[in-house]
């Protein structure tokens, strides 16, 4: 597990974008994906908003995915396994990089064919608690023709990242403007933030 953690940190230091190809095991990714699909079948996902609870708006011309917040109160064995891995990563990050992370929040994200999310930053103007963004992908057999890449905008080099199963991406929430390109297939992930309150 520490190899996955070190891969995230090392690639982040090198390029401001950390990537671990196998942060999630195949079993955990498959179980989380099935949980997300079940929630969607039960119509429990909600339209994703823009902004935080203090100032939220909904605009399908900017963002068209659906989400469902993970919570330990759900007592879902697979979500709790995911939380345990995130908590272990936070300990590793704080010990190795003195990051000062004290909490986190994550949600499932589902993009249907034609969905997208235009350029944005992840940190709110009225709340700087989000320090790092993390996205873990749940898409097996993803093809280039499926689209849906994460496009990260940097001054010297834009980076396009395919949302393949098991991969996790990690970057500073207040630094990198990014977007989700139009997907041509159902695209699933767990998206969240490491916080310092």
Take residue 51 and report the two structure tokens written for it: 């902004």
pTM for this structure?
0.92
Contacts of 12 (CB under 8 A, 6+ apart): 18, 170, 171
Angstrom CA distances, 5 to 90, 111, 194, stand at: 9, 27, 14
Summarised one tens digit per residue, pLDDT across range 149-190 is 999 998 778 899 999 999 999 999 998 999 999 999 999 999
Spell out the domains of the chain, with CATH numbers in brackets: 2-47+69-195 (2.60.120.620)
The pLDDT of 86-91, averaged and rounded, is 97
C-alpha–C-alpha distance, residues 183 and 167, integer Å: 17
Take residue 7 and report the two structure tokens written for it: 């891969």
């Amino acid at each position: 597990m520490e190899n996955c953690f070190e891969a995230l940190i090392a690639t982040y230091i090198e390029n401001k974008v950390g990537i671990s190809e196998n942060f999630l095991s195949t079993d955990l990714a498959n179980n989380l994906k099935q949980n997300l699909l079940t929630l969607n079948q039960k119509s429990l996902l909600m339209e994703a908003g823009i902004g935080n609870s203090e100032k939220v708006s909904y605009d399908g011309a900017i963002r068209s995915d659906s989400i469902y917040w993970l919570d330990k109160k759900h007592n879902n064995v697979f979500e709790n396994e995911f939380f345990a891995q995130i908590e272990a990563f936070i300990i590793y990050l704080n010990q190795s990089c003195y990051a000062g992370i004290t909490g986190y929040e994550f949600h499932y994200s589902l993009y249907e064919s034609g969905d997208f999310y235009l350029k944005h930053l992840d940190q709110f103007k009225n709340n700087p608690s989000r320090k790092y963004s993390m996205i873990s992908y749940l898409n097996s057999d993803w093809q280039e023709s499926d689209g849906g890449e994460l496009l990260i905008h940097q001054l010297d080099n834009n980076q396009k990242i395919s949302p393949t199963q098991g991969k996790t991406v990690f970057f500073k929430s207040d630094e990198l403007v990014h977007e989700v390109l139009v997907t041509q297939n159902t695209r699933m992930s767990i998206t969240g933030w490491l916080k310092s309150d």
